[in-house]
Structure 1
Amino acid sequence: MADKLWLRVITPSSLVVDEEVDEVLAPGELGEFGILPGHVPFITLLAPGELIYRKDGTEKRFILLGGILEVKDDKVKVLTEFVEDPSSIDPAVARKELEAVMEELKGFGGSSKELKELTRKLKLAQIRAGIG
């Protein structure tokens, strides 16, 4: 059994992470889960939330807006449309964005597809504002 994992986080436009790590914590559809070296192979959907990885005693966090995660042979691959470094978020701006999405929801009268997209925007705004 290996003592490290190889993590790749990929968006349609870039390879965000491509490095050896000790542990990965991910936001699953049924709750957060952890991956350590030797984990059994699996594929799962990711919920919007924080992807956390630990390496040599340090921790790195990213905000994801869902995606797919695959574990196989001590390699963890995350495919997602959106990744953001939380350290780049201005809390005041994030709160204003959350308030704007909540106002948009109050007067919503669109289709179920539009509601799904608005709900996704709300979840992202909540995560960015630190309350998701």
Structure 2
Amino acid sequence: MSTELNIAELTFVLEDFTRMHIRLPQAQRLSFTTLSVLHTLAGHGPMRLTELTASEQVTQPAITQIVTNLEREGLVERRPDPSDGRAVLVHVTEAGAAIVSGRRAERVAHLTALAEGLTPEERAAIAVAVPALARLVELNRSGS
């Protein structure tokens, strides 16, 4: 087994893993983009619509519609931006945060069961890789 990092192979594996991971929770009554907005707000705090448009890579009308629908369902709320009275910040509500934490708990349970099928060496390799993957995420955030 090579210890050289093959970025193309990493990309393919991460794409497959991401597709699997996104689809793990079974209760799927919201679209992927809508769920992504909830996860973004739960993880990064309140944001302006323009920031959500950029982070979710959708159009301004699309994010406005998503936020309006989430607001109607009681999963987010708009509040005035304390630093600019003309702007609003979108906040995740307790109900929205509960969806995010419930999805995470489902993923943890499913991945725990899958990890039982790995060898101790494979589990150790993943454990060693986690900090490096977290650092890649951090580098991406600081670069954008």
- Give the structure-1-normalised TM-score: 0.22
Q: Larger % of strand: which?
A: 1
In our comparison, the structure showing a higher alpha carbon Rg is: 2
Q: Larger % of helix: which?
A: 2
- Give the structure-2-normalised TM-score: 0.21
